[in-house]
Amino acid sequence: MKVIAEPGVPQVVIIREFRAPRELLFRAYTEPDLVKRWLGPAGLELVVNQLDPQHGGRWRWTHYDADGKGYVFHGLYHGEPTPERIVQTYEFDEATGTVYLNLITFDEADGVTTLTQNTVFFAVEDRDLYVDGGMERGIRASMRQLDDLVTELAKEANS
């Protein structure tokens, strides 16, 4: 996995390859039962409160720690999500007023899908808070769990 966060640029780009069709990755991003199986660091329980993957649709989920404290994230879909791309806003309730935009693309070639997540912030300071808050550790954990999930789904599809 590659994480690109250049100093002074209000953007983070994550690139990761998966040995799975892009349709499985798209499903993992848009089906509540699948999202909760891979998203977030280990040790937190994920509850998908809302997931409406269509233009103007809302998404919302809460991560709960061992003490039961909830961390709420939410946003809107822009354009119709497809197995090629998802565009969505992203907000964390503890950072009120900080909104960023995610463009997630799924490019498939020869049985390998390259997932690229381009996250754009309004200010470099917002990006720096995101990076300094442990984003990379959480993203790496989520991408490993996503890889395990799509590998399992691909095996099920081929049996």
Global pTM reads 0.94
In this predicted structure, the answer to whether residue 42 has a pLDDT above a threshold of 90 is no
Q: What is the Cα–Cα distance from 110 to 129, expressed in whole angstroms?
A: 37
What pLDDT, on the 0 to 100 scale, is given for residue 133? 81
What pLDDT, on the 0 to 100 scale, is given for residue 96? 84
pLDDT grade, residue 95 (50/70/90)? Answer: confident
Least confident of 19-33, 89-103, 104-118: 89-103
Show contacts of 149-155: CB within 8 Å, 24+ apart.
Answer: 149/28, 149/34, 149/37, 149/38, 150/18, 150/20, 150/24, 150/25, 150/28, 151/19, 151/20, 153/20, 153/24, 153/27, 153/28, 153/34, 154/19, 154/20, 154/21, 154/24
Least confident of 26-30, 64-68, 98-102, 153-157: 153-157
Please answer whether residues 51 and 32 qualify as being in contact, where contact means their C-beta atoms are separated by less than 8 angstroms.
yes
What pLDDT, on the 0 to 100 scale, is given for residue 9? 96
CA atoms within a 13 Å half-sphere pointing along the CA-CB vector of 45: 9
Q: For the residues 122-130, what does the mean pLDDT come to?
A: 92
Kindly give, in sequence order, each residue whose CB lies less than 8 Å from that of residue 37, ignoring residues fewer than 6 positions away: 28, 145, 149
Q: For the residues 56-68, what does the mean pLDDT come to?
A: 96
In this predicted structure, the answer to whether residue 6 has a pLDDT above a threshold of 90 is yes
Q: For the residues 39-52, what does the mean pLDDT come to?
A: 92
